[in-house]
Structure 1
Amino acid sequence: MIDFLIKSTLSLIVVLIVYHTLLEKEKIHQFNRFYLLFCIVFSFSIPFITIEIIQDTIPVAIKKPVVISGEPTMTIVNETTNYWLIILWSIYLLVTAVLIFRFISNILKLTNIKKSNPIVDYKDSKLVLLKEKILPHTFMNTIFINEEDYYNRKIEEELYTHELIHVTQKHTFDILFIEIIKVLFWFNPIFIFYKKAIQLNHEFLADEKVVASYNNVPFYQNLLLSVANTNANYYLASNLNYSITKKRFIMMTKTTSRITATLKKIAIIPMLTTIFLLSCGKKVEKEQIAQEPTALKTPINGMEKYFEDTTFRILDEKGNTIANKKFNELTTEEKDNVPPPPPPATEDEQKMEGQPNALNNTKGPQFIDINIHNDTIEKAYKGKEALDLQPTFPGGMEAFYKFVGRNFKISEQAAAVKLKGKLLATFIVEKDGSLSNIKIRKDLGYGMGDEAIRVLKLSPKWTPGKVDNKLARVEYSLPITIQSGE
């Protein structure tokens, strides 16, 4: 949420500054209307978009750079209630509810006024005749005017034309859009400036049409000045005298060449592209996974082949089955309790059986029971309630060790000094299996701590742990030995 607010607000500020400095002073009002609305949607969208920029990296070739030493320890993370967060959300919801009520009340008020007063069809709009002394103002396809002024013909044609532009160009939808955003993001003052910019642009559009239709700028300006001190009626309506400032008067006589307008429109493209790339771009190193030595693979493949069709039933201290796993899903601790396969047949036995290798051509039993309840786990929890099911990396902890070893890259500086030592990383396996709160408790420098964090962030989701058959957050402490020399 914080990331969304920061990215969207920074983008909103930049594009609004560009609007005021580059576009607002030019007579390209239709384009500016689209620009202001588009930039709000654009700024809200970019926090949800990520573009991965892949960079090739050349890892330093080092023999046995990373070793996982010892078993990782686990601790159940007790969930605590963040009362400050609850208070902040309560305040937000309360203020938002009040603003929503105000917003709906104003719409209902305008609707009720329309229903309770005489209505006259006028071109593409409807005129609502009110007893009270008011200036013409517009909401949706309705123009609210004073009944006496209407019948006495005291309302100039220029004013009707001005309000009709608000109707035909559907400016109310823009106002409703920005008001809804202000209700939801009332704590962000940037939208106050966006509403002012949008409303002023609406007046530019209406003024432009009046000037083009009647070609009498001095008369129209004097007409606006004569009503300048009248208060606005409703904040959801388009008001005739909104922001009667020097900007509007200057804009009535200003001209913008087609070349200037085109160049300024084109200049927006690199600006939006830069914001997009800076906000959404994420550099990702292309992983170059080192091949493991063949000597290490051979015995593992032999075990996996032998136990390929075997189901390992993991038992608790009472002998109850708590999990069924295949061999490659077992943790290192569980593999230590796996009975070894029979030794390969002798040459005479192979000749008699006509098989090149007895181990590769025999299968393990259908089921093997493994009791995982031991002192190591009890010591890890220090008397706290034990896990019913500990978090497991896909393929088991041995696969996790290999994953870290394959992806961990030693920096050139660490390789130059032949760095050796042990760093300690901690992380939490969340209820959804993702890793969070990754921290380095003991670092060796030379960027090794940052590298450990990077590798752990690459981890696929784990099978989460359980306490009392409920998903639990579990903290791991992982010692990593760095061996950058030969």
Structure 2
Amino acid sequence: MITYFIKVVAFQLLFLLSYDLFLKKETFFNWNRVYLIFSSLIAFVLPFIKLESFQNVVPQEYIILLPEIVLTPEKAVATIEPTWNWFLIVGIAVSSLLFIYKIVQLATLRFKGRFVKREQYTVIIIPKSTLAFSIFNYVFVGEEIEEAKLEDILSHELVHIREKHSLDLLYFELLRILCWFNPLVYIYQKRISEVHEYIADAAVVRNKDKSDYYEKLLAEVFQTQQFSFTNQFFKHSLIKKRIIMLTKQKSRQILKLKYLVLVPMLILSLVYTSCEDTTVSEVENTEANVEKMSAKVAQAVEDFNAYSESVKGVEMMTKEQYTKLGDLSKQLFESRRELAIAKGEEPEVLHANGWNYDDYVVARKKSIQENVTYDEFEKEAVSSKDLDKVPVHPNCEGKVSQNELKECLNISIQKHIMQNFDVKRAESVGLVGRQRIIIKFMIDKNGDVSNVLARAPHPALKDEAEKVINTLPKFKPGMKDGKPKSVKFAIPIVFQIEE
């Protein structure tokens, strides 16, 4: 979700910069109004649009994430609740309360005033006040405003009512609540308020003398009320800009071509969203799916922890107890993997150990519990279904189906690492506790292992990991559309060094 909002802010920034550079000073006020509303809205949609035609421009890279290898089991851990959602909810709640407070203030003013019904709108006259603003079909004016000056104010506010400017402001007010952390929403609302005033001024001076109108703007000082979702006739920060626009010569029609700047911006945005990630997720990345997977993970964690607690005091579990715990562990592993794919993040997940009961008995005697976690390369991985055939290990040449080949490949590489990796290298350099190594390598078009790169907490472990991977045998390369393809692999290794 954080990544999504970062993209939205980036797109809105791009659109706002283009508006300020190319369009803001033009007198195409209604066009500017449409641009501001459209660009603020399309920024929320663009991150979801991925065009296959753009994806094909960039060659796809095939990456297979192998299951994590645990050399020394350790205690299981529960899920870590992300704080971002709570942070977002609290901000929305505070923003909503502020909005409600403004509504209450507005309602208070409404009930204080005297109503005067007109054909298209209602005037609310506020006692002992020089207020002047409108919202929907209501115009608020102070009773201390002179009758002779009231005509221009009502003409101005009637334009806001006729053009339904309050809907624009309410839309941006809603964005301020939902995206309270995004400063660009406030800038958008400020820009749309300016455009509203320009539209209203332009409509009023069609039948009035311009100089007389802006002289009145300069001469009058009205009381203002800080309602961000109302159209205020007098706002100090806008007076100078309104007068400049009133005196500005109308922009030439050919300058409307400037709005075509939106076209290359949209194309660039679509290229970015389409090619930013060329890997294919196994689970559709939608908010509904994330919520569903989150609930599934929470239930799986609850079930696993509850049963783990029930057998915690058991010196040696029965085979039935061990089988049930294994099934719950597998369910947890699968649900957390699905959630990781859906969110595109790097969660801690539980991996089923795959031991039989005899292995458990040996491990239990040593007082070891297993916990396996996935790592950050989850988001890079693609399903092996994108290849017609995965690379074939020499031990797997008798396998036929894609699933059999993949399973055999995983088991063969895991067995090679577990047999050849020297855990004592970590002890020799003084490392203790949980250690994690990430290995990336490629099986190229010739079936050779290349581009081996390991990331480890100590150079000695890095060297050991790279040495082990470099001793893998020659493979038959992965195939796609009848052609050999280079395929990247990412393998996490976790082991525990007792203090």
Identify the TM-score tier after normalising by the shorter chain: 0.5 to 0.7
Letter in 2 for 1:410: I
Cα drift, residue 258 of structure 1: 1.5
Tell me the distance in 2 between the aligned counterparts of 1:98 and 1:256: 43
Kept after mapping to 1: 8 A contact 2:443/2:450: no
Residue 120 of structure 2 corresponds to residue 124 of structure 1: yes
Please say if 1:37 is aligned against 2:31: no
**Residue of structure 1 equivalent to 2:465:** 442
Counterparts of 1:92 and 1:202, CA distance in 2: 31
**CA 1:453–1:71 in structure 2 vs 1: closer, same or farther (change >3 Å)?**
same
CA 81–22 in structure 1, closer or farther in 2 if over 3 Å, else same: same
Q: Report Cα offsets for 1:414-438 as digits up to 9, x if no partner.
A: 98xx657988899xxxxxxxxxxxx
Work out whether residues 129 and 142 of structure 2, in 8 Å CA contact, stay in contact via their aligned partners in 1: yes
2:358 aligned residue (374, 382, 394): 374
Higher strand share goes to which structure? 1
Partner of 2:10: 10
1:266 offset after TM fit, Å?
2.0
Tell me: CA distance 1:45–1:57, structure 2 relative to 1, closer, same or farther (3 Å). Answer: closer
Partners in 2 of 1:147 and 1:209 — Cα distance?
A: 25
SS in 2 for 1:120: strand
Q: Look up the SS of the partner of 1:155 in the other structure.
A: helix
Which amino acid letter does the alignment assign opposite residue 233 of structure 2? L
C-alpha distance in 2, partners of 1:106/1:399?
65
Aligned to 1:410: 443
Aligned pair 1:255/2:255, yes or no? no
Runs of at least 5 residues in structure 1 that lack an aligned partner in the other structure: 60-65, 287-315, 324-370, 388-392, 427-438, 458-474, 479-486
Cα separation, partners in 2 of 1:222 and 1:403, compared to 1, 3 Å: farther
- SS of residue in 1 equivalent to 2:234: coil
Q: CA deviation at 1:219?
A: 0.6
Q: 1:176 maps to which residue?
A: 170
1:124–1:402 Cα change, 3 Å: farther
- Which runs of no fewer than 5 residues in structure 2 stay unpaired? 281-317, 326-354, 372-383, 386-400, 413-440, 457-461, 473-484
Aligned match of 2:76 in 75, 78, 82?
78
Letter of the aligned partner of 1:275 in structure 2? S
Residue equivalent to 1:234:
227
1: CA distance, partners of 2:258 / 2:451: 59
Q: 1:223 aligns with which of 209, 216, 219?
A: 216
Q: CA separation in 1, counterparts of 2:60 and 2:273?
A: 27
Cross-structure match for 2:319: 317
What are the within-5 Å matches in structure 2 for residues 156-235 of structure 1? Answer: 156-214=150-208, 216-228=209-221, 230-235=223-228
Distance in 1, matches of 2:487 and 2:234, equals: 59
Relative distance call for 1:386 and 1:123 in structure 2 (3 A) is same
SS at match of 2:122: strand
> Which structure has the highest helix share of the two?
2
Going from structure 1 to structure 2, the CA distance change for 1:98 and 1:375 (only over 3 Å counts) comes to closer
Q: Is the 8 A contact 2:68 2:493 kept in 1?
A: no
Q: How far off its partner does 1:400 sit? A: 3.0
1:400 equivalent in structure 2: 406
Q: 1:170 to 1:381 in 2, by over 3 A?
A: farther
TM superposition shift of 1:187: 2.5
Residue 171 of structure 1, CA deviation: 1.2
- Kindly provide the amino acid, as one letter, of the partner of residue 114 in structure 2: P
Query: 1:271 corresponds to which residue?
Result: 265
Report the TM-score when normalising by structure 2: 0.58
Match of 1:129, SS state, is strand
Q: Does 1:146 align with 2:142?
A: yes
Structure-1 separation of matches of 2:88 and 2:69: 46
Deviation at residue 251 of structure 1 after TM alignment: 1.8
Task: Assess if the C-alpha contact under 8 Å between 1:126 and 1:141 holds in 2.
Answer: yes
Identify the match of residue 99 of structure 1 among 95, 101, 106: 95
Shift of 1:411: 4.0
Q: How does 1:326-475 map to 2 (within 5 A)?
A: 372-375=356-359, 379=363, 383-385=367-369, 398-401=404-407, 410-411=443-444, 442-443=465-466
Structure-2 residue corresponding to 1:284:
278
Change (3 A) 1:82 1:372: closer
- RMSD in angstroms over aligned alpha carbons? 4.9
Aligned to 2:25: 25
Maintained 8 Å contact 1:12/1:39:
yes
After TM superposition, the structure 1 stretch with the greater mean CA deviation from structure 2, 252-261 or 45-54, is 45-54
Identical amino acids, percent of aligned pairs:
23
Instruction: Provide closer, same or farther for how the CA distance between residues 378 and 2 of structure 1 changes in structure 2, counting only shifts above 3 A.
Output: farther
